[in-house]
Amino acid sequence: MDPRKVWPHIPFFSRKEQVIPFRRIRRKKVKRKPGEVVFDTINIAFMVFIFFITLYPFWYIFVVSFNEGRDAARGGIYFIPRIFSLDNYKAVFQNGDLVNAFILTITKTLVGTTLHVFFTGIVAYTFSHKDLMFRKFYILFGTITMFFSGGLIPYFILIRNIGLYNSFWVFIFPAMFSFWNMIIMMTFFKELPSELSESAKIDGAGFVKTFVAIILPVSMPILATIALFSGVYQWNDFFTGVLFTTKKELMPIQTILYKIISESSAVTMLTHVNLPDVVAQRKITSESIKLATMVVSTVPIICVYPFLQKYFVKGIMIGSVKG
């Protein structure tokens, strides 16, 4: 039976008809106007210049930190180390205060970021419910705190009176909540389907269980975004250590770096160096230790960013669609 007679409305082709010879499609070159070429050339050159002047200071610090300190003091190092040396980093990691500060910074960043994301998230999830009593008043009250504060002296007295002065928790408790981050997370939670929380309630889940088991797993973009915000703040925060701690064991790496740069205390670090080679001790300088400390305190947080970048971009875009 010929299928062409059974289904006349369906086009059938023979094998010869189905074979379509491949022809290379040549795109016609569009002639660009001289003005467009000039504009693109100037634009690319300008962007390369901006990229260079932005990146070069970091590259210079990185290069000089790997150069012999005495040799770097003579100048003339621009792109690659002239005399490669690891003595600067050996001096940094043999200083007990810096190692302790580095460990403290990692600890407070991990603990502070985790608590900040969870606490800010649960407040944002609560505010995303329109049936919350006095919701508008709370949002208005919180918005005022974004622009006005009681001042530094009342804040210092408050921290001291509640027992956080010279305590590890002074880095954690005051940074557990941010109203700005709460607004971003609240906007994201508003866009989630209401059926998620309703189905959880039908199954007997409470508010906290719904938030932990249902909401958090589907909110990875915004969680990663807020975690990046909080993590960068915790890692780079030096002012809290300057203002609220006097003990060396409670000073994070950024506070020690601040003291090294502002008070020129890098000279005193040389007394803590215990390199086995006496010649190596003579090759390091206070300036080379400064630069090595900068690299040690900056590289870890830079390495974390690429892993959170895709979530960061997605979270910001979703959280900014509507308020």
Determine, yes or no, domain membership for 138: yes
Determine, yes or no, domain membership for 26: no
Mean local confidence (pLDDT), 111-123: 92
Asked if 271 and 135 sit in the same domain, the reply is yes
Asked if 147 and 193 sit in the same domain, the reply is yes
Determine, yes or no, domain membership for 70: no
Determine, yes or no, domain membership for 200: yes
Asked if 48 and 173 sit in the same domain, the reply is no
Asked if 229 and 185 sit in the same domain, the reply is yes
* Dihedral sign of CA atoms 208, 213, 218, 222 in order: positive
pLDDT in tens, 254-307: 888 887 776 555 555 555 555 555 445 556 777 787 888 888 888 887 877 777
Task: For residue 276, give the 3-state DSSP assignment.
Answer: coil
Q: Which pLDDT band, with edges at 50, 70 and 90, does 70 fall under?
A: confident
Determine, yes or no, domain membership for 161: yes
Query: What pTM does this model have?
Result: 0.71
* Highest-scoring range by mean pLDDT, 91-95, 190-194, 249-253: 249-253
pLDDT in tens, 86-101: 888 887 777 777 888 8
Determine, yes or no, domain membership for 122: yes
Asked if 114 and 59 sit in the same domain, the reply is no
Determine, yes or no, domain membership for 128: yes
Lowest mean pLDDT among 1-15, 22-36, 163-177: 1-15
Residue 67 pairs in a beta bridge with 84
Structural domain harbouring 210:
88-319
Whole-Å CA distances, 14 to 11, 18, 23, 85, 109: 10, 6, 21, 75, 70
Average pLDDT, the chain: 79
3-state helix, strand, coil in the chain (%, to 5): 70, 0, 30
